[in-house]
Amino acid sequence: MRKFAIAKGYEDKEIQLPKRSTQNSAGYDFESAEDVTIPPISVQKNPVIVKTGIKAYMNDDEVLEIFVRSSTAIKKGLTLPNNVGIIDSDYVDNPDNDGQIGIPLWNFGTRPYKIKKGERIAQGIFTKFLKTDDDHEHSKTERIGGVGSTGNQ
């Protein structure tokens, strides 16, 4: 099962599920769930997390890769701190944030940039991944939280 859903707390906020813009688009466009201002990196060294109000269900052997839309980077000077976000299949429905996808952004412009609710800021691409043949020999932990929760038990 691969699909998007509205995260808890956003059911009545008129959130749009991500969709592809054209017939051959690879990425699903993500919109901001609220108005937010991104100050220039010269003012604020930490990225601003833009809430989407969206969570993603996918198969166990898949990942959702999040990229800034090219127009967001080129025209607005906004970028992800790590260039790509990785949403694992077990992130959805976690107890910390219900699996809501947040988009961390830095502003490399000289002025604050105001993102409006509903503005498309990023795109997500589902990708299958492979495991090593000896993967079953490594210990596995279950996800018990949101961002940064794995390995902190």
Average pLDDT per 10 consecutive residues for the chain, totaling 153 residues: 97 97 96 98 92 98 96 93 95 95 96 97 97 75 61 54
**Amino acid 152: pLDDT:** 55
Residue 77's CB: how many other CB atoms inside 10 A?
18
**Are the C-beta atoms of 93 and 56 separated by less than 8 Å?**
no
State whether residue 105 is helix, strand or coil. strand
pLDDT at site 89: 96
pLDDT value at residue 135: 82
Residue 58 near residue 89, CB atoms below 8 Å: yes
* Euclidean distance between CA atoms 116 and 104, whole angstroms: 15
What sign has the CA pseudo-torsion 89, 95, 100, 102?
A: negative
Q: What pTM does this model have?
A: 0.88
pLDDT at residue 150, as a whole number: 59
Amino acid sitting at position 129:
F
User: CA–CA separation, 76 vs 115, rounded Å?
Assistant: 10
What contacts 74, CB < 8 A, 6 or more positions away? none
Amino acid 133: pLDDT: 86
Copy the structure tokens of residue 72: 């967001």
Architecture of domain 3-130: Distorted Sandwich (2.70)
